Amino acid sequence: MIESNREMNANEIPSFVAEVIAAGCDINAVGHDMYVLGDVDEQQKAKEELSRIGERYGDRAALRSEIIAYLRSIGRFVDVTWPQTIH
- The per-residue pLDDT for range 7-51, each reduced to its tens digit, is 999 999 999 999 999 999 999 999 999 999 999 999 999 999 999
Q: CA-to-CA distance for 30 and 63, rounded, in angstroms?
A: 15
**What per-residue confidence (pLDDT) applies to 84?**
74
Distance of CA 9 to the CA centre of its chain: 14
More confident position, 57 or 85: 57
pTM to 2 decimals?
A: 0.86
User: Residue 43's closest CA among 32, 54, 34?
Assistant: 54
